[in-house]
Amino acid sequence: MLRFEEKTHTYYWFDKPVMNVSTALKARYYREMELYSNEEALIRGKYVHLATALYDNDNLDEDTLDPLIRNFWSQWVAFRESTGFVPDLVETRGYNSRYGYAGTLDRTGMLNGNKILLDIKTSKTKHKLSKAVKLQTAAYSELDNVKEAGPYAGRYGVLLTPDSFDLQGPWVSPNDFAVFVYELVGQKYKEERP
């Protein structure tokens, strides 16, 4: 049984802590991931993810949105309206039983008649998403419950800024997951060494 402890951002599989996707990638991709993992970005991302998930599940009271979050949320709405993206899985936690890692997928859904996997990133400025996002989405696509809901025509990232959205991808290389597993095994080895 998968359990997530929000306060420490720790996943447990039957009460045993397991590595998460971000931790597996952080050692090598720290500089690239710093755009999304500094304190300001983490707080912004947390609340933008919450607002977009509530919206996608038809539970958002727009009057409660903080003005700083509203701009990013409105770009999510613009993305959905302009692309026709229809979400299926929303903020779904999962576990990979073969490699022993866990994570929270942002979205799967339909885009242009194809089932895709989508990661949401926020930033104050527009830029190209890092290689780490490709590996992150590859890892999410192999979570047991997410894989069962596939197959996916591609993996994408959408970058939300206060005044725009930028859909990037598709990423389809099977090598992305192999690289993620390499990073995961290396990080587990570092943590297990005395």
- C-alpha 98/C-alpha 147 separation (Å) is 12
What CATH number is associated with residue 41?
3.40.1350.10
pLDDT of residue 57: 97
- C-alpha 191/C-alpha 16 separation (Å) is 15
Give per-10-residue mean pLDDT for the chain (194 aa). 94 96 81 62 90 97 94 98 97 97 98 97 88 94 95 96 96 95 93 76
Name the residue among 25, 23, 1, 6 with its Cα closest to residue 176: 25
- C-alpha 143/C-alpha 106 separation (Å) is 12
pLDDT of residue 16: 96
Strand 114-122 versus strand 101-111 pairing type:
antiparallel
The distance from CA 189 to its chain's CA centroid, rounded to whole angstroms, is 24
- The whole domain housing 112 covers 2-192
- C-alpha 50/C-alpha 112 separation (Å) is 25
pLDDT of residue 190: 87
Number of domains observed in the structure of the chain: 1
Name the residue among 125, 120, 121 with its Cα closest to residue 163: 125
Give the model confidence (pLDDT) of 35-55 as tens digits: 555 678 778 989 999 999 999
pLDDT of residue 131: 87
pLDDT of residue 194: 65
Structure tokens at 178: 């192999």
- What interhelical angle do 39-56 and 67-83 show, nearest 10? 50
Residues in the chain: 194
- State if pTM tops 0.85: yes
